[in-house]
Amino acid sequence: MVVYRTSMQIVADLLVATDQCGQEGIKTTSLLTKANLSHSRLEKFVGNLTGAGLVNKIEYDGKNVFVITPKGKQYLDQYRKFADVAESFGLEM
């Protein structure tokens, strides 16, 4: 049985990956690999994340680098708390 991730889970995976790389940021290829997404789906999610102010997109040497913002860290913390509460009730995210 194939288990699909929700959009919220994908957003959390993207934020975790960018958070782990700190202020140096993460390149597109690494983000694709860590979040396990196709390039077209990544573009859609990154557009939403940058639009919401959760991630900054920085062009560096002709490459895109993504850095989590303080707002993104706050979102990730709240998501983790909610996931813990849901799990304590036996609910899946």
pLDDT of 93 higher than 80: no
User: What pLDDT score was predicted for residue 61?
Assistant: 81
Distance CA(87)–CA(3), nearest Å, equals 17
Backbone angles phi, psi at 60, to 5 degrees: -140, 120
Burial class (CB in 10 A: 0-12, 13-18, 19+), 24: exposed
| Architecture of the structural domain at 7-87 | Orthogonal Bundle (1.10)
Q: What residue ranges do the domains of the chain occupy?
A: 7-87
Average pLDDT over residues 83-93: 90
The beta strands (E) that lie in 1-93 are given as 26-27, 55-60, 63-68
pLDDT in tens, 12-63: 999 999 999 999 999 999 999 999 999 999 999 999 999 999 999 999 788 9
